[in-house]
Each structure stands twice: as structure tokens, then as C-alpha cells.
Amino acid sequence: MLPRRKLPTKFSIPIAALAMVFVSIVAPGPAQAASLTSDQIALVRSISKTSPVMAKLVEAALSREDAKYRAGGSGPTGFDCSGLVKWSFGQAGVKLKHGSANQIKQVTRISKKDLMPGDLVFSGRSNGGIQHVSLYIGDGKVIHATYGSASRKNQVRIDNLDSSWVMDHKAYGRVKI
């Protein structure tokens, strides 16, 4: 066995400092989340008047706007569609399964006219079943994680509910809180 040699002082790095660097790289905290705009803050405050839980999960989703799309991802730095929904509900203390086919089984079906912030919008191609889920945030908008096209990035983004962003809306649902 070789004798232990002490590193010169200038190369000694306290373990705590290494741990802090590791944690900041591996598990980004709130400081690295997207800052909410004044309109988004007003939206969250408005939602909190009727449902603090829904306000918290909408705020969580909005904080991840522009996060990268990652197939099978459930946060906090990369998401697929159902992973964003699962993670956002989790931040509000509500457990959901991963996968839009699983999540549609965890909601009470509602009509489009009854949508409220925090409700889920399930979509799919016209000739297929449910393939996508997004989170309704109010004012005719959804936030969702979607893979892009030549003109759009793979990311978490906000879109108008009635725009032709990807697929046909197949169902709307509300998670019982």
C-alpha cells in the first residue's frame, strides 16, 4: 500500500463546495426556473382566489416554459407532455401517473365550455386515439411540452387552445382535488 500524500493547499477543495456545485448541476432549483411575466403572475393570483391548488400547479407549469422537450421526461429540466402535467400537479401535492392514456383515466370528463385553469386537454390525430395532453391555463391558452417541427423548437410552450398547433382535441378533463 502506498503512503497517503497530502495535496498542496492550493488544490484542496472543501467537500461542501464540491457538493454545492454537483447539486446545482444535477438538480436545478427555483433560481433556474423561468421567471414569470407580470401577466403570468396576475393570472396565478387570479386563479388562487378560487383554487390555491390549481394556482400552484399552473404556476409550476409556467415556471418551466421553454424547458426542453425530452421523450419520457418528467422534469424538472426536460419533459414530455404528460411528464409536464405530472410534475406540475406534483408540485401542488397531487399525484398523477405518467402517460396521457393513464392521465385520461384519472379525470372527470368535462366539456370545452367548462374548462377552468388546471384542467387537462387531451388531443390526438384525427384518425387515432389520445396521444397528447396539455394543461389549460385560462384565457383560451394551454401550456404543454411538445416536440417541434422545422419552424418550432422542442420545448414547453404556451399556445392558443384553438390554434392548429398539433392535433385535434379529443377530450377535456378535470382532476379531482
The string of DSSP letters for 48-87 reads HTT-HHHHHHHHHHHTTTTPEE-TT-BSSSEE-HHHHHHH
Name beta bridge partners: 107. 175
CATH of the domain at 154: 3.90.1720.10
At residue 59, the pLDDT reads: 97
Percent of the chain clearing pLDDT 90 (strictly above): 59
At residue 67, the pLDDT reads: 92
At residue 20, the pLDDT reads: 39
- The verdict on residue 20 lying in a domain is no
Tell which residue, 84, 91, 107, 82, has the closest CA to residue 56. Answer: 91
- The verdict on residue 6 lying in a domain is no
Residues 75, 64: Cα–Cα separation, whole Å: 9
Region of poorest pLDDT, from 4-8, 26-30, 113-117, 161-165: 26-30
CB half-sphere exposure, 106, CA atoms < 13 A: 19
- Residues whose CB is less than 8 angstroms from the CB of residue 34 and which lie 6 or more positions away in sequence, other chains included: 62, 63, 64, 65, 66, 67
- Residues whose CB is less than 8 angstroms from the CB of residue 65 and which lie 6 or more positions away in sequence, other chains included: 34, 143, 156, 157, 158
- The verdict on residue 31 lying in a domain is no
- The verdict on residue 156 lying in a domain is yes
- The verdict on residue 138 lying in a domain is yes
Q: What is the pLDDT of residues 59-89, one digit of tens each?
A: 999 999 999 999 999 988 899 999 999 999 9
- Residues whose CB is less than 8 angstroms from the CB of residue 84 and which lie 6 or more positions away in sequence, other chains included: 61, 64, 67, 74, 75, 135, 143, 144, 145, 156
Please say whether the beta carbons of 14 and 21 come within 8 A. no
In three-state secondary structure terms, 165 is coil
Domain carrying residue 87: 36-175
- The verdict on residue 141 lying in a domain is yes
Q: What is the pLDDT of residues 129-169, one digit of tens each?
A: 888 999 999 999 999 998 765 556 779 999 998 876 656 78
- The verdict on residue 64 lying in a domain is yes
Tell whether the model's pLDDT for residue 17 goes beyond 60.
Answer: no
Q: How many domains does the chain have?
A: 1
- The verdict on residue 170 lying in a domain is yes
